[in-house]
Amino acid sequence: MIDVERLANWLDQSGLPGKGEPIEHRYVSGGAQNEIYEIRRGDLHCALRIPPPTAPAARDEGILREWRIIEALNGTDVPHTEAVAVCTDPAVLGRTFYLMEFVDGWSPMGVRGWAAPFDTDLSARAGLGYRLAEGIALLSKVDWRAKGLHDLGRPDGFHERQVDRWTRYLDRVKGRELPGFDEASAWLRAHKPLDYVPGLMHGDYQFANVMFRHGAPARLAAIVDWEMGTVGDPKLDLAWMLRGWPEDTSTPEAATALYVDLTGMPARTELIRHYASVSGRQVDDMDYYDVLAQWKLAIVLEQGFQRAGDNEKLRAFGPMVLDLMRSAAELAETTGYGVAAP
């Protein structure tokens, strides 16, 4: 729980609305990395994001990183939570935290699927997919240098580092062999994208990390959860979003392809085309990004599986990892994409 009295004093000193008025607050969500509270005080209505007391000290740096990104997005056309204020003084609430706009919307994770009317109206549901692709297309156009994010990541050599970086990551958690890893890794080392235009990327872009406005037509309210945000290659966000997305969403398989029902959604190629139209980026090399995204996700999920213990949710990652790595290797073997790395 947060110390409301200390928070009130800090709000007063920060010159935010509602000085002297009582604070209404409620716990919204959270986990091992972050907690979110809804805060109301006079005209102030926002969300407070803070690491729990048990989170590693590095999470305070992560909170500041997230803050820098959402603050940089203020004034852009990227749907996001407006940045309100940040506090780095542990004497206030014990950890670094920030305040952001409280978004009136819904999350596919919060409603475990689609909110009305998207749960039954397939023609309206298609718009959710287009808006999802549009969100990262707009993000890719942000002038990150002008926004002071030149030191957020290391864009130079982004693709040259991927295999070595994530192989070291896997070596730290490795508990079994992953068939297809060597083949996909070798292919990634031997190939490169057609071009590389650095840009701001989310790092874990999917339906789970966005919010939509209530009602139709579909409108993206905010991209959320910027823990993996960096300056890198935005087209990797697109490939990450499209993992497992079928070309034909009218088949029964579309209902179970992801953690949400994709029936009625635009085809994969339609979303790629829409992304290209909004972002202005070429997309003829998506096979490269598809291999990289599936290979990388397999490694990320393998860490969860190796640390699963009795956690059934994490143990379920086991076969998913094998499928992803096998799929990455098979795509690498069959794709006609052939731009050789230097």
Residues 95, 135, single domain; the answer is: no
Question: How far apart are alpha carbons 289 and 236 in whole angstroms?
Answer: 6
pLDDT score, position 142 = 98
Residues 134, 14, single domain; the answer is: no
Query: Whole domain around residue 55: which residue ranges?
Result: 4-101
Residues 81, 132, single domain; the answer is: no
Which residues 6+ apart lie within 8 Å of 284 measured at CB? 194
Residues 196, 50, single domain; the answer is: no
268 within a domain of the structure (yes/no): yes
pLDDT score, position 111 = 87
pLDDT score, position 112 = 86
118 within a domain of the structure (yes/no): no
Beta bridge partners of 49: 36, 98
Nearest to 272 by CA among 78, 139, 137, 79: 137
CATH of the domain at 45: 3.30.200.20
pLDDT score, position 1 = 82
Please say which residue of 62, 83, 101 terminates a domain. Answer: 101
340 within a domain of the structure (yes/no): no
pLDDT score, position 260 = 95
Query: How far is residue 289 from each of residues 36, 69, 178, 225, 324, measured CA to CA in Å?
Result: 33, 24, 20, 22, 14
Question: How far apart are alpha carbons 223 and 14 in whole angstroms?
Answer: 26
pLDDT score, position 125 = 97
Residues 29, 167, single domain; the answer is: no
Task: For residue 149, give the H/E element and its range.
Answer: none
Q: Is the peptide bond before 246 cis (omega within 30 degrees of 0)?
A: no
Q: Kindly give the residue spans of alpha helices, DSSP state H, lying in the chain.
A: 4-14, 58-73, 90-93, 122-140, 158-173, 181-190, 235-241, 268-279, 286-306, 312-315, 317-334
Residues 74, 156, single domain; the answer is: no
- As to burial, measured by CB atoms within 10 angstroms (0-12 exposed, 13-18 middle, 19+ buried), residue 5 is exposed
pLDDT score, position 238 = 98
Nearest to 98 by CA among 31, 16, 215: 16
Whole-prediction pTM: 0.94
Number of domains comprising the chain: 2
123 within a domain of the structure (yes/no): no
Beta strands in 226-266 (DSSP E): 230-232
pLDDT score, position 247 = 96
- Residue-by-residue DSSP string for 36-88: EEEEEETTEEEEEEE--TTS-THHHHHHHHHHHHHHHHTTSSS-BPPEEEEE-
37 within a domain of the structure (yes/no): yes
Please say which residue of 82, 101, 120 terminates a domain. Answer: 101
Residues 152, 291, single domain; the answer is: yes
Question: How far apart are alpha carbons 326 and 179 in whole angstroms?
Answer: 6
Per residue of the chain (342 residues), give pLDDT as tens. 899 999 999 999 999 999 989 999 999 988 778 999 999 999 999 999 999 999 999 999 999 999 999 999 999 999 999 999 999 999 999 999 999 999 999 999 988 889 999 999 999 999 999 999 999 999 999 999 999 999 999 999 999 999 999 999 999 998 899 999 999 999 999 999 999 999 999 999 999 999 999 999 999 999 999 999 999 999 999 999 999 999 999 999 999 999 999 999 999 999 999 999 999 999 999 999 999 999 999 999 999 999 999 999 999 999 999 999 999 999 999 998 888 887
Question: How far apart are alpha carbons 289 and 287 in whole angstroms?
Answer: 5
Beta bridge partners of 201: 230
Amino acid identity of residue 293, one-letter, is: A
Residues 312, 249, single domain; the answer is: yes
Amino acid identity of residue 101, one-letter, is: E
341 within a domain of the structure (yes/no): no
170 within a domain of the structure (yes/no): yes
Residues 276, 231, single domain; the answer is: yes
In the block, residue with structure tokens 């209902």: 255
Question: How far apart are alpha carbons 198 and 233 in whole angstroms?
Answer: 5
CATH of the domain at 136: 3.90.1200.10
Residues 89, 156, single domain; the answer is: no
Residues 63, 146, single domain; the answer is: no
273 within a domain of the structure (yes/no): yes
